[in-house]
């Protein structure tokens, strides 16, 4: 995959009187850096005023010691961003902040709403953004719309305002929010994006997109925020409210690629899930070879599982340059084609003369995979067999993962044999949808699989489908998503 699809964001929330809350938020964001590298921000309150600091770049670039020392308070939220709506600019960095006569609010969002046009319409009809700067939105992000709606609905109790607004949202959201004194967390009724609750050793509370952030903070995992649940954390502890009946449709791609392997999603460690995907792939698509190797880093657990399942020795045929990040100086087209060489270098001594099985988590456009195969042949591989630990991606995501338009997805344009010829491999096989879902050990009805199946849990508006060059109507677009069985 090597970064051809990107997660929208990572969110953190901390409520910990007496602790260095800004630093805790910073470390939480640091653990979630893989979920967004475009900007990072922290909002913090001392009980009187919310201060927001946000900057373009990686977490470590956005904050330094002086900034962290200036951020004082006991409640905070943090955000690391890769945009799915709105352009890449400082205005669109989060947390987003609003004031209203009844108080202040800051919002950090992981996900993507599918009814932002309606939300903008109702806000305009109600008189626009209540922020004193003027009756307009600060940015083009859907998060700003949500914050503006909440600020407008706030008549003195922020919790009630949030409870009024969130049921009007359609799409994917895991929010951390705060006013001057309280921390809030909420997940949409489908629970597309993760959000976990932890407890610090000193009794403070943590909300985080992934449990790896809790680990870094030394926090104990308590539980996930449930789909359709809102939690409020303040001096009285945690209280929970239902926003809507849960209709689970968690993003299965979090398990395949996006989440960190040391995180636990829906009760299951991500590394172990990917390992099982590799074992299953070895059973479904066996191959005669001398070496199993991953496309690092995301292909590593599945490659180890494939090696175990196939009894073919595992080896690291690529060395990854870990210091290549997203750069603000976009490479030229010709450099982009060479881009993968900046990240990966084959180890000739491991590859030469061998039949190699290469494990990756997915193929998006196919260009990266084609370059990988060519590099391995240049390094002397006798045969190159690609095995992919998820099914072909055929449909774009509208729920918070940035994917190319449908006509750029190689899985929607070509059959598997054609893809194999295009990437120049000796063979190509994908894990079945059933194999992928079984490897998660979670009931398969609890997942969104729309990018593989076109079974979108929430119907996508026509204009969004057109924007992503979706030509045919998705097969299951009109079909109602089943309600929670429990």
- The Cα diameter of the chain in Å comes to 72
What is the rounded distance in angstroms from the CA atom of residue 181 to the CA atom of residue 48? 8
414 CB-contact burial (10 Å; exposed 0-12 / middle 13-18 / buried 19+)? middle
Measured between alpha carbons, how far is 265 from 224 in angstroms, rounded to an integer? 9
CB of 448 to ligand SF4, least distance (A): 3
Would you give the binding string for ligand SF4 spanning residues 381-410, x where CB under 6 A is met?
----------------x-x-x---------
Shortest distance, CB of residue 474 to ligand SF4, whole angstroms? 10
Q: What is the DSSP letter of 476?
A: T
Contact characters 420-459, ligand SF4, x per CB under 6 A:
----------------------------xxxx--------
Task: Name residues contacting ligand SF4, limited to 33-72 (CB under 6 A).
Answer: none
Cβ distance to ligand SF4 smaller for residue 100 or 143: 143
Instruction: By CB under 6 A, tell whether 2 contacts ligand SF4.
Output: no
* Closest to ligand SF4 by CB, 372 or 401: 401
Alpha carbons 71 and 267: distance in angstroms, whole number = 34
Closest separation in Å from C-beta 226 to ligand SF4: 18
Residues in contact with ligand SF4, total (CB under 6 A)? 11
Phi, psi (5° rounding) for residue 311?
Answer: 60, 20
Q: Within 10 Å of residue 402's Cβ, how many Cβ atoms? A: 17
CA 385 to CA 399: how far, in whole Å? Answer: 32
CB nearer ligand SF4, residue 281 or residue 401: 401
Q: Give min distance, CB of 193 to ligand SF4, in A.
A: 8
For the bound state, the minimum distance from the C-beta of residue 457 to ligand SF4, rounded and expressed in Å, comes to: 8
Pairing of strands 383-388, 268-269: unpaired
Q: What is the dihedral sign for C-alpha 416, 418, 422, 425? A: positive
Of 177, 193, 180, 194, nearest to 232 by C-alpha is: 177
- Candidates 9, 212, 420, 448; catalytic one: 9
- Considering only residues 70 to 109 of the shown chain, the ones binding ligand SF4 according to CB under 6 A are none
- Within residues 249-268, the interface with ligand SF4 by CB under 6 A covers 251-253
CA distance 78 to 221: 19
Question: Please, which residue, 205 or 253, has the CB nearer to ligand SF4?
Answer: 253
For residue 104, the Cα-to-chain-centroid distance in whole angstroms is 27
Rounded least distance, CB 245 to ligand SF4, Å: 20
Partner residues linked to 9 by β-bridges: 81
Per-residue binder mask for ligand SF4 (CB under 6 A), 184-223, x = binder: --------x-------------------------------
Which 136-195 positions form the footprint of ligand SF4 (CB under 6 A)? 192
Count CB-CB contacts under 10 A for residue 200.
18
Crossing angle of helices 367-378 and 416-423, in 10° steps, is 50
Residue 431, SS3 per DSSP = coil
CB of 440 to ligand SF4, least distance (A): 12
Which residues 294-353 are close enough to bind ligand SF4 by CB under 6 A?
Answer: none
Q: Which is nearer to ligand SF4, 306 or 398 (CB)?
A: 398
- CA-CA-CA-CA torsion sign (260, 195, 409, 83): negative
Q: Is 251 or 465 the residue whose CB approaches ligand SF4 more closely? A: 251
What is the distance between the alpha carbons of residues 435 and 283, in angstroms, rounded to a whole number?
A: 10
448 is catalytic: no
User: CB–CB of 38/67 below 8 Å?
Assistant: no
Residue number, 58 or 431, with CB nearest to ligand SF4: 431
Within 136-170, strands assigned E span: none
Smallest gap from residue 453 Cβ to ligand SF4 (A): 9
Q: Which is nearer to ligand SF4, 174 or 196 (CB)?
A: 174
Which distant-in-sequence residues (6+ apart) come within 8 Å of 367 by Cβ? Answer: 4, 337
Nearest Cα neighbor of 146 from 185, 126, 179, 173 is 173
Give catalytic residues, as residue numbers: 9
Contact residues for ligand SF4, defined by CB under 6 A: 192, 251-253, 397, 399, 401, 448-451
């Amino acid at each position: 995959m090597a970064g051809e699809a990107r997660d929208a964001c990572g969110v953190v929330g901390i409520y910990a009187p007496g602790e260095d809350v800004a630093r805790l938020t910073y470390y939480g964001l640091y653990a979630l850096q893989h979920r967004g590298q475009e900007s990072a921000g922290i909002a913090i309150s001392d009980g009187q005023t919310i201060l927001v600091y946000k900057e373009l770049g990686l977490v470590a670039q956005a904050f330094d010691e002086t900034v962290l020392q200036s951020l004082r308070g006991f409640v905070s939220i943090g955000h690391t961003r890769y945009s799915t709506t709105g352009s890449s600019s400082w205005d669109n960095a989060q947390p987003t902040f609003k004031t209203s006569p009844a108080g202040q609010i800051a919002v950090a969002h992981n996900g993507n709403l599918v009814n932002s046009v309606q939300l903008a319409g109702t806000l305009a009809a109600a008189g626009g953004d209540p922020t004193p700067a003027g009756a307009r939105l600060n940015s083009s992000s859907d998060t700003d719309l949500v914050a503006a709606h909440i600020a407008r609905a706030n008549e003195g109790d922020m919790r009630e305002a949030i409870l009024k607004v969130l049921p009007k949202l359609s799409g994917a959201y895991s929010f951390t929010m705060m006013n001057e004194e309280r921390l809030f967390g909420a997940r949409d009724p489908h629970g597309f994006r993760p959000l976990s609750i932890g407890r610090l050793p000193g009794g403070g509370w943590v909300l985080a997109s992934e449990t790896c952030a809790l680990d870094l903070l030394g926090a104990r995992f308590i539980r996930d925020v449930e789909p359709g649940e809102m939690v409020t954390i303040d001096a009285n502890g945690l209280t929970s409210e239902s926003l809507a009946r849960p209709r689970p449709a968690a993003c299965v791609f979090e398990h395949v690629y996006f989440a960190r392997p040391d995180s636990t999603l829906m009760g299951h460690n991500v590394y172990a899930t990917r390992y099982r995907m590799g074992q299953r792939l070895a059973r479904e698509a066996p191959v005669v070879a001398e070496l199993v190797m991953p496309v690092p880093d995301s292909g590593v657990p599945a490659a180890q599982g494939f090696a175990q399942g196939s009894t073919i020795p595992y080896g690291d045929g690529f060395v990854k340059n870990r210091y290549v990040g997203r750069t603000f100086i976009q490479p030229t087209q010709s450099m982009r084609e060479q881009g993968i060489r900046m990240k990966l270098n084959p180890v000739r001594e491991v590859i030469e003369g061998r039949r190699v099985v290469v494990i990756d988590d997915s193929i998006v456009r196919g260009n990266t995979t084609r370059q990988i195969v060519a590099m391995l042949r240049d390094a002397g591989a006798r045969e190159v067999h690609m095995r992919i630990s998820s099914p072909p991606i055929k449909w774009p995501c509208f729920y918070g993962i940035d994917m190319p338009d449908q006509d750029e997805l190689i899985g929607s344009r070509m059959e598997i044999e054609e893809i194999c010829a295009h990437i120049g491999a000796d063979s190509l096989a994908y894990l079945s949808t059933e194999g992928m879902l079984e490897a998660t050990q979670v009931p398969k009805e609890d997942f969104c699989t729309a990018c593989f199946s076109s079974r979108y849990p929430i119907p996508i508006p026509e204009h969004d489908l057109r924007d992503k060059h979706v030509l045919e109507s998705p097969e299951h677009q009109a079909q109602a998503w089943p309600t929670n069985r429990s």
